[in-house]
Structure 1
């Protein structure tokens, strides 16, 4: 059995309160991981081309106010 399958079985056995606690924990964990990866991508320049493309589109009038 893989680690993921093992986790799935364990999660299925959680009580409603435990499942709610797990959801809260996982949402925070996942957001933190995403933030760290995004920061690494910004620092490494991975997003530079996308930012430049967006700025060019904005200057060309291809964007709208939110």
Structure 2
């Protein structure tokens, strides 16, 4: 297994096209992990309080169009 330093050094040597492909892959993977975390937090009820507060504000007329 490579160390982080070895990976960083290998990345520095990539041709531009391969660097862009790596960047795209990392960004997609990061977004996927973020989506999974949000879904897990929602399923665990971590947003229930926020949802209740937003709903109460909306019903009280405390919201405005963006």
Query: Structure 1 residues 49, 17: closer, same or farther in 2, change over 3 A?
Result: same
What is residue 58 of structure 2 aligned with on the other side? 58
Query: Structure 1 residues 4, 64: closer, same or farther in 2, change over 3 A?
Result: farther
Within-5 A mapping of 1:12-51: 12-51=12-51
Structure 2, gaps ≥5 residues long: none
Asked which structure has the greater CA Rg, the reply is 2
1:4 and 1:62 mapped to 2: Cα distance? Answer: 49
Runs of 4+ in 1 over 6 A off after TM superposition: none
Structure 1, gaps ≥5 residues long: none
Following superposition, the deviation at residue 45 of structure 1 comes to 0.4
The number of equivalent residue pairs is 64
